[in-house]
Amino acid sequence: MKAIRVHEFGGPEVLRLEDVPEPRPGAGQVVVRVRAVGVNPVDTYIRSGAHAVRPALPYTPGLDAAGEVAAVGEGVTRLSAGQRVYTAGSLSGTYAELALCEESQCHALPERVSFKEGAGVNTPYATAYRALFQRAQGRPGETVLVHGASGGVGTAAVQLARAAGLRVVGTAGTEEGLRLVIEQGAHEALDHGAPDYLGRLAELTGGRGVDVILEMLANVNLNRDLEVLAKGGRVVVVGSRGTVEINPRLAMTRDATILGMTLFNISPRDSASIHAALGAGLEAGTLRPVVGRELPLAEAARAHGEVLKPGAHGKIVLIP
C-alpha cells in the first residue's frame, strides 16, 4: 500500500510517498481503509522533530482520518468490517491507504457526515471540547471569545459553543475567514488584524468582559486576553508559538485563571466522554466539520506548508 514515510526529522520535503507492507490487526486492533486524512499543525511540529512526541524513525505521520473498517483482530467487539469510522490516533499513522488502530481509537462516523468531514473531527473537535467544557467549564449563557476561529479548532469551538447556548465571538484575519466564523454560528466576528479590535468586546458584553477565551496564539494575545476577561474569567491556552510577557495584576484583579492543555495528556475516561459528545453532535447535525481544501496524499508536503500559513479556512484534508 501507499503511505507517507518520514526517514529523518526536518522540513516538509522529508514527507515521501512510498510502498509499504499492509498492516494486519492483532488482538484488540482494527485496520481502517483511509478515505480522507485530516492535516493538523501538530503533524508539522512532530515532523520537524521539535515536538515532545518524537516517533521512532522511519514513521508515517497522522492522527486523524476517516474511512471504513477493513479488518478486525481477535477480541474486537464494538466494530465490524465495513463500518464507517473516524480515528482519534493510530498505531501506524493515518497518512496512508490503510491505518492500524486500537479499537478504542476508532469512533462511529454517522452516515450524514462525509469521509472528508470525518477526517476533520478528532483533533479539532476533541481539542475544542476539552478546552471549552473540561478545562474552562464553559456554561450556557456565558460569553466565549474564540481567538482564532477560522481554522480547524476554531470552527469546531464556534459550533460546540453555539450549540451549548453560549454567546460566541470569534476572530479571523481575512474577509473570507470572518464570513466563515459567522456561518459557523458566531454571534459576532472580529478581525484580529484590525487595530483595537478587542475594544469592541466591552460594548458587546455591556462592559463586563468575556467569561471564557480559547486562545490559538497565546504568544501574541495572552496579555490582551487578560485585559478583556470578566471577573472569574478563564483563558485556555490551546496554541502558542513563542513566549509572551504578561501583567499578572490583570489576572489578580479579575480572579482570572489561565489554563493550559494538550490533547496528549487526556485520560481514557475524558477521551471516551468527549467522543460520546462529539458522536451525538455529529449525528444531530449540530457539528459539521468545515473542509477548506483537499489535496492528494502524494502532496502531503504541500499540505504541511499550507497548514501553517495565515488565512485559515477550515481543514486541509489529504485523499489517498
Site residues, ligand NAP (CB under 6 A)? 40-42, 123-124, 127, 147-154, 171-174, 177, 192, 216-217, 220-221, 238-239, 261-263, 307, 310-312
Q: How far is the CB of 78 from ligand NAP (least distance, A)?
A: 25
Q: Is 98 or 222 the residue whose CB approaches ligand NAP more closely?
A: 222
Q: Is 14 or 153 the residue whose CB approaches ligand NAP more closely?
A: 153
Residue type, 89: G
Q: Is 79 or 261 the residue whose CB approaches ligand NAP more closely?
A: 261
Q: Is 130 or 167 the residue whose CB approaches ligand NAP more closely?
A: 130
Q: How far is the CB of 274 from ligand NAP (least distance, A)?
A: 12
Q: How far is the CB of 25 from ligand NAP (least distance, A)?
A: 28
CA distance linking residue 233 with residue 253, whole number of Å: 11
Q: How far is the CB of 251 from ligand NAP (least distance, A)?
A: 19
Q: How far is the CB of 101 from ligand NAP (least distance, A)?
A: 19
CA 142 to chain centre: 22
CA distance linking residue 134 with residue 238, whole number of Å: 13
Q: How far is the CB of 33 from ligand NAP (least distance, A)?
A: 25
Q: Is 77 or 243 the residue whose CB approaches ligand NAP more closely?
A: 243
In DSSP terms, which residues pair with 107 in a beta bridge?
86
Q: Is 25 or 118 the residue whose CB approaches ligand NAP more closely?
A: 118
| Helical packing angle, 152-163 and 175-183, nearest 10° | 30
Q: Is 67 or 152 the residue whose CB approaches ligand NAP more closely?
A: 152
Q: Is 28 or 173 the residue whose CB approaches ligand NAP more closely?
A: 173
Q: How far is the CB of 18 from ligand NAP (least distance, A)?
A: 26
Q: How far is the CB of 22 from ligand NAP (least distance, A)?
A: 30
Q: How far is the CB of 128 from ligand NAP (least distance, A)?
A: 9
Q: Is 101 or 222 the residue whose CB approaches ligand NAP more closely?
A: 222
* Residue written as grid cell 485563571: 257
CA distance linking residue 71 with residue 227, whole number of Å: 53
Residue 207, number of CB atoms within 10 A of its CB = 9
Residue 54, number of CB atoms within 10 A of its CB = 11
